[in-house]
């Protein structure tokens, strides 16, 4: 993924994502973390941090949340459980160099976009509700900015048919 005049490998992108999620939700106080969560739930795009590169180049990292496929009642604890599961999976994949897969998102017309969905997921179950949290990154074409989008995916797409069924 291109960042200004720099390019990142997918593993570096995954490491950046893991660091960003850890910084935004686990290295801060619960009050700050919960405040970010509430703003995300309210539909805000939240500025998280700025990356600084050589030559005084900076890239703004913002975050948003897509809950359209979320099942049940969202609360901070359930959200954080999803983050823990996502980070665990992401760190497991990153422990094997070159193992992180990414997927290119397509627009409504089927044309590839600059958005990259990371091939790590955070499945959780609370009661009967199963949810899968994933993360995508989209660089801005007009300014030095990346939007990190946490998104709940439809969990049914991850279920395989039972053996023996036709």
- Give, for 122, the enclosing helix (H) or strand (E): strand 122-126
Distance between CA atoms of residues 19 and 149, nearest Å? 15
Residue 29 CA from chain centroid, whole number: 21
Collapsing DSSP to helix, strand or coil, 118 comes out as: strand
**DSSP, res 88:** H
Q: What is the pLDDT along the chain (166 residues), one digit of tens a residue?
A: 554 445 778 888 899 899 999 999 999 999 999 999 999 999 999 999 998 877 788 889 999 999 999 999 999 999 999 999 999 999 999 999 888 999 998 888 989 999 999 999 999 999 999 999 999 999 888 898 999 999 999 998 877 655 555 4
pTM: 0.86
SS3 149: strand
DSSP β-ladder status, 145-153 and 58-66: parallel
């Amino acid at each position: 993924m291109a960042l200004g005049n720099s390019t990142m490998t997918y593993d570096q992108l995954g490491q950046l994502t893991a660091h960003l999620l850890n910084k935004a939700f686990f290295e801060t106080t619960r009050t700050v973390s919960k405040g970010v969560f509430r703003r995300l739930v309210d539909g805000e795009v939240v500025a998280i941090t700025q990356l600084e590169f050589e030559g005084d180049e900076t890239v703004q990292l913002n975050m948003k949340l897509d809950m359209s496929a979320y099942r049940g009642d969202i609360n901070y604890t359930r959200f954080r459980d999803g983050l823990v599961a996502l980070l665990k999976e992401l760190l497991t994949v990153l422990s094997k160099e070159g193992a992180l897969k990414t997927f290119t998102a397509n627009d409504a017309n089927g044309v590839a976009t600059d958005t990259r969905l990371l091939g790590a997921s955070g499945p959780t179950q609370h009661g009967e509700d199963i949810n899968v949290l994933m993360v995508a990154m989209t660089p801005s074409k007009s300014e030095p900015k990346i939007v990190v989008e946490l998104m709940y995916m439809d969990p049914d797409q991850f279920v395989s048919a039972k053996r023996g069924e036709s």
